[in-house]
């Protein structure tokens, strides 16, 4: 059985681990097609400054869902790693590049073990230009003209570069990719005024990178709503009881129609109330009127008053663990309503920043160096630097850093060449909310006739639209399990039903 993985970033790493668990004893020819010089780290976990840390506890960053302490044990075995002498907890986090080494070493050991058991593994440093179906096979065409025929191809391409809503690409003082900050920000003059477009974790990392190189100039974070990444809460006891994967699946199976957004919101509210929230607390966290550093200060203060069971963590976890069930069933109008009303709040809660990072931002604001503005309208080049229009007034900046991700449906989820080939060859449909249509349960691409393709699957950013939240390690691990299970089940059925002599050893 030949499996071709297109892409070699973090999503691919999660998939390889899942395939190893699902197919470990089978005869597998694994081909990884990735043109860059490194596997598994993606852009976010490459070598960088120690100040740029992961933002989640070890149980949420493990590559093995059956072993929550897997990542924690790895870090404990590497006390010489920069920043890893401190324990990895809800409050203390290792640098991103250290987690990148965890990815590399874990995958290296796993592939060595699989090779020893009979797997054949090949890394092709090529770019994929086209994917097509040929009967029950998938053909992956490479830029050098070669074709990789395979029994299963899984598209794990990452988020594309080039999101440029203000058309600033090519300007010498415009930085389109902050990572790794050690190399992308080191050319900025210490006294330059810097505008960072975005308020999520990438924007926060850009600020931390500037601070690490002793930047003295003014820094302004800007977005439409000014909602910064939420402050991570202390570790608390409590798990969802009303809104769980089991209860949501049961509701969907018993219902003759899809879930509505109002039902999802009611379930989340009921979960929050059962976990101890008051209506006033819920309204406070859901209010868009509380924004910027004022919101960060409040959330830092709230950490001191959290009871044993934290309603916000319980409710957030309920939404994270069930979204891949209810999101695909929402009517298009409900999905659009969610994206307009809840998308930014969702991103802030599901990708929070460490409390120590929040404290650093407050300290920089108190010193007058950092400000957060909302109501971003446009960014235009000026004679020197840029002119940023925010709620009808102007902010001047010497440098602009793009640290915002494209909103859903802003562009195809992968470079046009591959997306176009999928659609042109009839083996894929573009989803109206971005990405390509996939069968939610298995990740199989849906062809132009609406049929799931057994030999062609996708994981990660390419499935945005069908799935909503695909950027976190837990979600990638969970979806990898589903993709690997689909391949394993299909392969097992094929092997059981095939006549003798048709399968090569």
What is 169-210 written as a DSSP string?
Answer: TT-TTEES---SHHHHSTTS-TT--EEEE--SHHHHHHHHHH
Task: Name the CA dihedral angle for 268, 273, 279, 284, rounded to a multiple of 10 degrees.
Answer: -60
End-to-end Cα spacing for the chain: 9
Helices first, then strands: H and E counts in the chain: 15, 17
H or E element at residue 424: helix 416-424
Length of the chain in residues, anyone?
A: 505
Secondary structure letter of residue 464 according to DSSP: B
**What are 268's two structure tokens?**
């989340």
Q: How far is CA 383 from the centre of its chain?
A: 37
On the 0-12 / 13-18 / 19+ scale of CB atoms within 10 A, 279 is exposed
Between CA 436 and CA 443 the distance in angstroms is 10
pLDDT at residue 496 in the model: 39
The three-class DSSP label of residue 231 is strand
Q: What is the pLDDT of residue 90?
A: 77
d(CA 450, CA 454): 13
* Structural domains of the chain ordered from first start: 2-160+411-496 (3.50.50.60), 174-229+353-402 (3.50.50.60), 245-350 (no CATH)
**Side-chain-facing half-sphere of 374: CA atoms under 13 Å:** 14
Q: What is the distance between the alpha carbons of residues 46 and 44, in angstroms, rounded to a whole number?
A: 6
Whether the Cβ atoms of residue 74 and residue 231 lie closer than 8 Å to each other: no
**Cis (ω within 30 of 0) for the bond into 180?**
yes
Joined together, the tokens standing for residue 151 give 């029994």
| Long-range contacts, 394-398 (Cβ 8 Å, 24+) | 395/195, 395/220, 395/222, 396/193, 397/193, 397/194, 397/195, 397/220, 398/173, 398/189, 398/192, 398/193, 398/194, 398/217
CA-to-CA distance for 318 and 464, rounded, in angstroms? 20
Q: What is the pTM of this model?
A: 0.90
Tell me the two tokens of residue 182: 């050690």
* Residue 470: DSSP 8-state: -
| Contact indicator for 470, 148 with CB cutoff of 8 Å | no
Listed in sequence order, the DSSP H helices in 68-120 are 70-76, 96-116
Pairing of strands 399-402, 194-197: parallel
Strands (E), 340-432: 370-374, 376-381, 386-390, 393-397, 399-402
For the chain, 505 residues long, give each residue's pLDDT as a single digit of tens.
999 999 999 999 999 999 999 998 889 999 999 999 999 998 889 999 999 999 888 888 999 999 999 999 999 888 766 555 677 887 889 999 999 999 999 999 999 999 999 999 999 999 999 999 999 999 999 999 999 999 999 999 887 665 788 999 999 999 998 999 999 999 999 999 999 999 999 999 999 999 999 999 999 999 999 999 999 998 767 899 999 999 999 988 887 767 899 999 999 999 999 999 999 999 999 998 999 999 999 999 998 888 888 999 999 999 999 998 999 999 999 999 998 888 889 989 988 999 999 999 999 999 999 999 999 999 999 988 999 999 878 999 999 999 987 665 544 444 457 888 899 999 999 888 888 899 999 999 999 999 999 999 999 988 988 998 667 898 899 999 999 999 999 877 654 333 333 222 2
> In 3-state terms, the chain is what percent helix, strand and coil (to 5)?
40, 20, 45
The count of other CB atoms within 10 Å of the CB of residue 239 is 12
CB distance 341 to 225 below 8 Å: no
Name residue, tokens 């969702």: 346
Cα 7 from Cα 128, distance rounded (Å): 9
Query: What torsion do the CA atoms of 115, 118, 119, 123 make, to the nearest 10 degrees?
Result: 50
- Residue 264 neighbours by CB under 8 Å, 6+ apart: 326, 330
**Can you say how many angstroms the Cα of residue 96 is from the centroid of all Cα atoms in its chain?**
14
């Amino acid at each position: 059985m030949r499996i071709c993985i297109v892409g070699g970033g973090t999503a691919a790493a999660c998939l390889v681990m899942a395939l190893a668990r699902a197919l470990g004893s089978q005869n597998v020819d694994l081909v990884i097609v990735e043109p860059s010089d490194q596997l598994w780290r993606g852009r976010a976990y490459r070598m960088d400054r120690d100040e740029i840390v992961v933002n989640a506890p070890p149980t949420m960053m493990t590559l093995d869902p059956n072993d929550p302490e897997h990542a924690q044990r790895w870090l404990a075995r590497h006390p010489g790693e920069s920043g890893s002498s401190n324990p990895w907890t809800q409050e203390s986090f290792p640098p991103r590049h250290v987690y990148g080494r965890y990815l590399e070493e874990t995958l290296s050991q796993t592939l060595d073990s699989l090779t020893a058991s009979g797997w054949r593994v090949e890394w092709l440093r090529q770019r994929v230009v086209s994917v097509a179906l040929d009967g029950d096979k998938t053909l992956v065409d490479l830029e050098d003209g070669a074709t990789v025929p395979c029994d299963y191809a899984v598209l794990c391409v990452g988020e594309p570069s080039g999101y440029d809503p203000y058309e600033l690409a090519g300007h010498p003082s415009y930085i389109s990719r902050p990572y790794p900050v050690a190399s992308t920000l080191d050319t900025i003059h210490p006294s330059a005024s810097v505008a960072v477009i975005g308020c999520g974790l990438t924007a926060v990392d850009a600020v931390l990178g500037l601070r690490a190189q002793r930047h003295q100039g003014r820094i302004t974070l800007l977005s439409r709503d000014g909602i910064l990444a939420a402050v991570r809460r202390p570790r608390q006891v409590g798990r969802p009881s009303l809104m769980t994967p089991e209860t949501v699946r049961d509701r969907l199976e018993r219902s003759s129609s899809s879930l509505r957004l109002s039902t999802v919101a009611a379930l989340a509210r009921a979960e929050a109330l059962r976990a101890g929230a008051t209506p006033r607390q819920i309204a406070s966290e859901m209010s868009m009127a509380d924004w910027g550093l004022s919101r960060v200060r409040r959330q830092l203060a709230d950490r001191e008053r959290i009871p044993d069971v934290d309603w916000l963590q319980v409710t957030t976890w309920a939404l994270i663990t069930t979204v891949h069930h209810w999101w695909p069933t929402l009517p298009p109008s409900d999905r659009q309503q969610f994206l307009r009303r809840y998308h930014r709040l969702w991103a802030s809660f599901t990708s929070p920043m460490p409390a120590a990072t929040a404290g650093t931002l407050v300290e920089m604001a108190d010193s007058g160096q950092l400000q957060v503005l909302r109501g971003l309208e446009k960014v235009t080049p000026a004679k020197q630097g840029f002119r940023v229009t925010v709620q009808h007034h102007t902010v001047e900046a010497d440098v602009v850093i793009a640290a915002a991700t494209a909103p859903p449906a802003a562009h195809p989820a992968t470079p046009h060449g591959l997306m176009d080939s999928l659609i042109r060859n009839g083996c894929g449909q573009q989803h109206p909310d971005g990405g390509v249509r996939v069968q939610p349960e298995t990740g199989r691409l849906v062809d132009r006739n609406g049929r799931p393709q057994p030999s062609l699957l996708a994981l990660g950013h390419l499935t945005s639209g069908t799935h909503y939240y695909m950027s976190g390690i837990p979600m990638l691990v969970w979806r990898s399990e589903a993709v690997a299970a689909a391949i394993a089940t299909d392969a097992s059925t094929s092997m059981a039903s095939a006549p003798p002599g048709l399968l090569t050893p």
